Structure 1
Amino acid sequence: MTDLHLQPVVMDVGSLTTKVGFAGGTAPKYTYDSILGRIKHRRVIPGGALEKEASGKGRVEDKDVYCGQSVSNHPGAFTLSQPVSYNGAVESHSDLHTLVNHGMAKLNVLSASTEHPVLLTENPTAVNLVTNRCSLAEFMFEYLNSPAIFFGPAGVLSLYSTGKTTGVVLDIGDSGCQVTPIYEGLGLHHSILGSSIGGRRTTDVLQKLLTRSTGLSLTTSAEYQMVRRMKEECCYVQVEGAEGGDAAWLLPDGTPVTLPARLRTQPSEVLFSPSDHTGSEELGVHRLLHRSVMSCDIDVRSRLFESIELVGGGTMMTGLPERVLKEVRSLSPPHTTLRLSATPERKNAAWVGGSILASLSTFKGMWISKERWREEGENCMRDAML
């Protein structure tokens, strides 16, 4: 393909948030909720409060569907939906296209989309992976006129963000978690494991605890988002010697709520003992990580255990890195060397890894061009990309 004169766009569409920016950047330029809102009652929203989608090639024409700040600022006025669910499953391809289009508009590249190749992160174990790729490829090439695209596995990209090429990544997102072992830059696909235990489950637990302890009925989409914010600000992971007091929270209507100390650590326990809190038979995150590494070739296990990386928004809770290390150590032989890293920027790890990869001069030959897509179609979307 011809030389690319302008910066590639990097886009990480998660089940909770979407991050967009340009290759070479150290952080996403924009982050917005991966939630679409369909208006329930237009007249309850102040005039001019809705954020207009930028017009351009590829615009999804549905005046009653919004995303970004419009939805975040007025959640009660919308019926909410999430295009991406557990394990990267796409609930609605057209809604996913709307999220992507919104990101391109935020970067002001819709009018120059023919100049910007786009790297998108993906979950390599997602259901209907090839179908998802083809749907996005058609949208990017035929509607946005992108010159080239690439799909990068989130786990591998996350490790790249640390400057390493060998290690095991535990990525806890909103809709689930995934463990990806990587050896010399390539994902060991046969050992990738995932579960539906993630941030959303911890929010569900807190929602039930609040109902029991306060009698509050927090059932609407807007109320659920409020519970999630309460969890992020008030809850933490129990580790030895760490005790917190009660936490105060103010509801949007001004009602004060007290979250007792004993409840502040309970939501995170679902990550380690799902069966005790949800009845799920899925493994805790520490057991999932241990099983993934132990399924790899015996010659690489020690190197993986020595480079455990925690990434994703679901790992930001205070105390989680220490607890994961403690629990993995309890499953491992006494003399196993374990090293775990959790950088402050870990919620952006997949995006940063994509930014690094897409800015490398040696990466130019890996893009899938529009011409190749038109010649090969689905066939060029079947192979693992990293």
Structure 2
Amino acid sequence: MRATVIHAPRDIRVEEVADPTIQQSTDAVVRVLRACICGSDLWPYRGEGNTGPEQRIGHEFLGVVEEAGGDVSGFAPGDLVVAPFAWSDGVCDICHEGLPTSCPQGGIWGRPGSDGGQGEAVRVPFADGTLVKLPADAASDDRLLTALLALSDVLGTGHHAAVGAGVRPGATVAVVGDGAVGLCGVLAAKRLGAERIIALGRHQARTDIARTFGATDIVAERGDAAVAAVRELTRGQGAHSVIEAVGTEQSMLTSVRITRDGGAIGYVGVPHGSATGLDLGHMFARNIALRGGVAPARAYLPELLPDVLDGTIDPSPVFDVSVGLDDIASGYKAMDERIALKVLVKM
């Protein structure tokens, strides 16, 4: 089978690799129909972070079960399924507490020793605890299939940020970051009843999507100017809830400065660089809460899936470029150069 392999910074290739097989009785093999490129995939692509040579890559996919191990009870060959970006056993205490990304037996696709999601097929450990079944007829609806793919990561991550930020009906929310996760944060805030949503972003194509998703205001400035703009929009008070979807020191500092006293920040931007400028004393004095981290996407799937299926929310616009597997290197280049927001990979 063919799969995406990263050899070195900006060296992405599609190569022949061994077909996945059932190794444990709890495994399933999934033939991939849709995958995509994540913003976090760009860090190894740019040479930041630890990536071994000739490593599989990608962690978002949906597809059809081809084979199931003898102890898999919830799935059978032919089932259409979506996989969250991390697998988990679904039975341990941590999984039952709603944090499958911390499952002691879990892992993330595309890490050493696992299959990457950007390939023709994937071995799924702990299939019953990891996969979620989708309606079979969704496979014939291209838009819906694309929207369902967002459940693998970005929609659940945006929702996690909104939950961490304490978004509630009537709240004012600010979203720092206009990438796919930030835009899904806008969608999640609207779904949770936010009255005012201020999206911080400078790219009109992205802020247009933000408005479609529910943003009421756009702030194109950065740094001090962005803080001043948000403060002006909120009569000097700041936002009740702030979604941080970038992961840099500057984005976190901006988030703190635009949060209302007594408010909360939900941070889901993958951290890169330092955070030496973050003043905990300042946050302490203003009673600002900080919650977030790796999104437990599998835990949110039962809640979010029905709303995607019935069209209450539609995250599909975040996928603005589509490529075939053979052209995935061009997809990475487009995202790296900010030509594309999020690239869909069709098998």
TM-score by length of 2: 0.34
Higher gyration radius (CA): 1
Q: Which has the higher strand share?
A: 2
TM-score by length of 1: 0.31
Q: Which has the higher helix share?
A: 1
Q: Which has the higher contact order (CA 8 A, sep 6+)?
A: 1
